[in-house]
Amino acid sequence: MRVSAQSECAMSVEEADTDCRTTPPSRVELNLDIILFIMNLLPRPQLLRMMSTSRILREGGIRILLRSHISLNNNTVLPFCEFMLADIPLRPSLLRQLTMKSRGPCTYETFIIADYLGMVLQHSHNLEVLCLFQSEVLFTTCHALVKAVLPLENLQVLDLHDVQWMALNVVANIRSSPRAVYLDFGQYMFLAHRRLRSSSIGGGHTQIFRLKTSRCTPHTQPQHSTVHSVIINEDRKWVSPSENSDMSSLI
């Protein structure tokens, strides 16, 4: 009986050892937060490939991409807006930095672009950086875009190109307190900045206020013909040619 019991025990140990060698080890499941952290560090091509492996990773990758800088043009803006509007308000709320590089003459397509941008920005309450080329055309073409930009409360940087009176009106009435405001007047008269005081922007909390214009335009007075930009810094004082003759100090 004792020999039989020892034999059975030896056989059981041998079978268990065989099972350990033949059974594959169980896969270690990573926490989803760890996976998303790793995805956040990946280069864009690898991130896109990883997003294609599962629905959960795709949604996580979308969140990562929308929190990065988004740069659009006339060809990409409408597909992007349709993608954003497919999941309101989640996707627009993830948007942090947006640049719209619109080009060309004002057409019906311009109105469509401005209208779609307005619908997206209406829900982009966490937007921190907004850059609009042809801002005057976009704001004038579609008032819905103006209504969407004015309430943005978390905007830190506002960069507007081709500025005229409508764009100036938006800057003067925006609800947020942007840290920096950049206005590029293009070929428009440089002295339009007299209508806008830095203290009227965001309750006077703006630290950097930069105005840019062409070095010489038909509307520019001679004493301003070499001025490329003006900055209002933290001490809230205007820097102008009459106050500072060293043009190298102007960016």
DSSP lists the bridge partners of residue 230 as 211
Write down which residue in 51, 66, 81 finishes a domain: 66
Shared domain for 34 and 82, answered yes or no, is no
Under 8 Å between Cβ of 158 and 167: no
pLDDT reported for residue 57:
85
Domain that holds residue 186: 70-249
Shared domain for 7 and 109, answered yes or no, is no
DSSP lists the bridge partners of residue 130 as 98, 158
- Type of residue found at 107: T
Shared domain for 121 and 232, answered yes or no, is yes
Write down which residue in 27, 43, 66 finishes a domain: 66
Each residue's pLDDT, cut to its tens digit, for the chain (251 residues) gives: 544 544 544 444 454 444 445 545 445 456 777 877 787 777 878 888 888 888 888 888 888 888 889 999 999 999 999 999 999 999 999 999 999 998 888 889 999 999 999 999 999 999 999 999 999 999 999 999 999 999 999 999 999 998 888 998 898 888 888 888 888 876 545 555 555 555 455 555 666 777 776 544 444 333 333 334 444 433 333 333 333 323 223 22
Write down which residue in 66, 94, 118 finishes a domain: 66
User: Residue 188 class from Cβ within 10 Å (0-12 exposed, 13-18 middle, 19+ buried)?
Assistant: buried
Query: CA 179, 181, 183 angle in degrees (round to 5)?
Result: 175
Q: How far apart are CA 185 and CA 120, in angstroms?
A: 26
pLDDT reported for residue 226:
36
pLDDT reported for residue 148:
97
User: Residue 64 class from Cβ within 10 Å (0-12 exposed, 13-18 middle, 19+ buried)?
Assistant: middle
- Type of residue found at 35: I
Shared domain for 116 and 7, answered yes or no, is no
Shared domain for 118 and 141, answered yes or no, is yes
Shared domain for 130 and 186, answered yes or no, is yes
Shared domain for 75 and 24, answered yes or no, is no
Shared domain for 59 and 161, answered yes or no, is no
pLDDT reported for residue 204:
59
Shared domain for 111 and 56, answered yes or no, is no
**What is the count of structural domains for the chain?**
2
User: Residue 28 class from Cβ within 10 Å (0-12 exposed, 13-18 middle, 19+ buried)?
Assistant: exposed
pLDDT reported for residue 193:
52
Strands 69-73 and 97-101: parallel
Shared domain for 44 and 113, answered yes or no, is no
Shared domain for 87 and 3, answered yes or no, is no
Under 8 Å between Cβ of 203 and 188: no
Alpha carbon 209 to its chain centroid, in Å, reads: 20
Torsion of CA 163, 84, 68, 173, to 10 degrees: 30
Q: The domain that contains 144 carries what CATH number? A: 3.80.10
Shared domain for 158 and 213, answered yes or no, is yes
Under 8 Å between Cβ of 194 and 211: no
pLDDT reported for residue 234:
35
